[in-house]
Amino acid sequence: MTPRESSSRPAPAPDDRAVDAATAWAAAAAVPDPELPMVTIGGLGVLRDVTVDDRGRAHVQLTPTYTGCPAMETIRADVVEALTDAGCLHVDVELVLSPPWSTDRITAEARGALAAAGIAPPPQRGETVDLALPPACPRCGSRRTRVLSRFGATACTALWVCGPCREPFTQVKTVR
């Protein structure tokens, strides 16, 4: 038996195995939201921080959209899988409840993805709105809409119907 060749490739030092923070962030940020799969947890602002130590162990901070959000366990599992696939050797996930999540954390890109899917996005960051004002219909833009149910398919959405076009639509509720 010849000894295993080691001249061409030295045993990797711990640093060589580490996943860089930008790669880890991108992998975690790309995880889709289980309830609103057209947007990612990065776009929703649920992903708060990702750090990777020199041994490839990732520490992830997530802020749930709503306390007790049932999707969090799915998100947690999906983040662990995504970072493991990206090469992290160990992943731990911390839920950070303070400062709380707000709809201001949703990126412009994610708002666009919601609107494109026919879901009324919450108002933009810095936009002063009358929270009692009904959301505009994502199909025709009319504000002559009325609520059908304060809770849609998920706790973070409500179900509305448009007067002019009679189209029911989902709204992501504003949280500030």
Nearer to Zn ion, 14 or 164 (CB): 164
d(CA 72, CA 154): 13
Least distance in angstroms from the C-beta of 136 to Zn ion:
8
Least distance in angstroms from the C-beta of 140 to Zn ion:
3
Strand 57-62 and strand 47-52: the pairing is antiparallel
Nearer to Zn ion, 137 or 172 (CB): 137
User: Which spans of this chain sit near Zn ion (rule: CB under 5 A)?
Assistant: 137, 139-140, 142, 162, 165
Whether 156 contacts 66, CB under 8 Å: yes
Least distance in angstroms from the C-beta of 153 to Zn ion:
20
Least distance in angstroms from the C-beta of 157 to Zn ion:
17
**Is 61 exposed, middle or buried, given 0-12, 13-18 or 19+ CB atoms closer than 10 A?**
middle
Residue type, 132: A
User: Coil, helix or strand for 69?
Assistant: coil
Nearer to Zn ion, 32 or 168 (CB): 168
Nearer to Zn ion, 23 or 142 (CB): 142
